[in-house]
Structure 1
């Protein structure tokens, strides 16, 4: 008689948790800190302030946001004249650990330089993104209908033929799998559509409510918002500049670190 061994349920649970933990992927997070200007700690955050010819810029790292890293920026007009603030006037150049410029993979022979995201432009792009997503779902629905019609036709045709029980069972299994596959594809298509549209809703809120917007500052006024910079994983430093056209350029330097963390499972 064979012996039967029982594994305690607590041990099984521990092994299951360990297996999940070992499979948990690493997540790379971006951390930036200012290393130029008048740097101070405010509410546990490193904040820098740079003043150039009456233009003051206060900046700190806020967070990473999908494809961007974001800075919390305040622009102050200490000049006797009004100035126009445009988030697209923020630009950055990616630097390596020796603070030499990185090459732009898209433009051979040039430094990797990018402007900050323009909220007005990005908001306009969302209209096209939503339309493209609606077209994608429509094409998917048409394809699903074609697949369903073809599967039903095949099912009816094959079921009408006389066959052995094993052939009948095999036919039922194959067509059942086809129906299930179409149902899963339909669910995935609708889920992808819903997730992307939800993301676009957030992006619209981001550009409308959170981002630094175009603004005319009278003397003594200031404006604050988030500035969005495209992620550059290979950069060790970001040399950022804010330019008031034909007046002044305010330089900022942020050090960038990529931190590997275990993704928490819920």
Structure 2
């Protein structure tokens, strides 16, 4: 009987061929209805409640998040609290008949398709829709966590490595002691081993410290980015406006996201179509 790996080769080749032939799609979000309202090239969905204007635009996808920018304008005579944790979205899919692409052409490049068609063309199953409205992330705990973690990383980078100091001292002492002395082969080998160990350890220790320092800088930058750009809880006085990023968990297998934006005790819907364009 042939070994398993030999018998598996044709099957693996077919799987690889099917994967290679599966189409890929570029994902994007846009207002469900055109508004001709733009900010920095992004079209904004718009809603009004109690004279307060809310605008929302899609910014980008991150690895696990979808990012919107929210804008509030308060022309009223009373203050308004804007809280990012009060935002929710509801995901939905367009009713689409089941597609079987066996023997049928797949979507042409540039074609926009539904989540169901994209999944069928890639031979994958659609996950269920979120059963409950999906809440936006609260940026405050993340900012606090990032800064605390950055401080710990910076402390590790600045910490004195006493073992490295001890090894360097031992290496230096052994070198000084050997001056003007005849060393046996064994003594020379021991001194060389101490010096090599001290050098190798200090190189590794320095690399570790540099890694901690880089990590601290990256975490501080992420915290500063959130602090500057994220929508944070704020009181809008009459005549004021605010803009900031909202971060939601991304859900790629939906055809529409309806973001519910808070306006005082009310919520207003802002509808977005999630589109897939065949690449």
Shorter chain as denominator, the TM-score bin is: 0.5 to 0.7
- Structure 2 runs not aligned, ≥5 long: 1-25, 94-114, 117-125
Answer yes or no: is the 8 Å Cα contact 1:33–1:46 preserved in 2: no
- The 8 Å contact of residues 90 and 115 in structure 1, kept in 2 or not, is answered as yes
Residues 137 and 248 in structure 2, CA contact (< 8 A), matched pair in contact too: yes
Q: Alpha-carbon deviation of 1:257?
A: 6.5
Which structure dedicates a bigger proportion of its chain to strand?
A: 1
Structure 2 counterpart of 1:128, from 148, 155, 158: 148
TM-score by length of 1: 0.57
Question: Hey, what does 1:225 align to over in structure 2?
Answer: 244
Q: Mark the structure with the bigger radius of gyration.
A: 2
Deviation at 1:195, TM superposition (A): 1.8
Aligned length: 216
Q: 1:257 to 1:145 in 2, by over 3 A?
A: farther
Selected match of 1:243 from 262, 265, 277: 262
Query: 1:118-141 CA distances to partner (integer Å, 9 max, x unpaired)?
Result: 3x4444334422332244446xx4
2:32 maps to what in 1? Answer: 36
Q: In the alignment, which residue of structure 2 is the partner of 1:117?
A: 138
Q: C-alpha separation between the residues in 1 aligned to 2:86 and 2:39?
A: 28
Conserved in 2, the CA contact under 8 Å of 1:47 and 1:58?
no
Aligned-pair Cα RMSD in Å: 4.6
Q: Scaled by the length of structure 2, what TM-score is found?
A: 0.55
Point out the more displaced range, 196-205 or 233-242: 233-242
Q: Distance in 1 between matches of 2:91 and 2:153?
A: 33
Cα deviations by residue, 1:94-135 (Å, 9 ceiling, x for unpaired) = 6673597545xxxxxx658342333x4444334422332244
Distance in structure 1 (CA, Å) of the matches to 2:137 and 2:68: 10
Distance 1:112 1:175 in 2: 63
In structure 1, stretches of 5+ residues that fail to align are 1-29, 104-109, 261-266
Write out aligned runs for 1:1-266 (5 A): 32-40=28-36, 42=38, 45-54=41-50, 55-63=52-60, 68-77=65-74, 81-92=78-89, 97=115, 102=129, 111=132, 113-118=134-139, 120-137=140-157, 141=159, 144-146=161-163, 149=166, 162-163=184-185, 168=189, 172=192, 177-218=196-237, 221-230=240-249, 232=250, 235-236=253-254, 238-244=257-263, 246-253=265-272, 255=274
Stretch of structure 1 that moved more, 246-255 or 41-50: 41-50
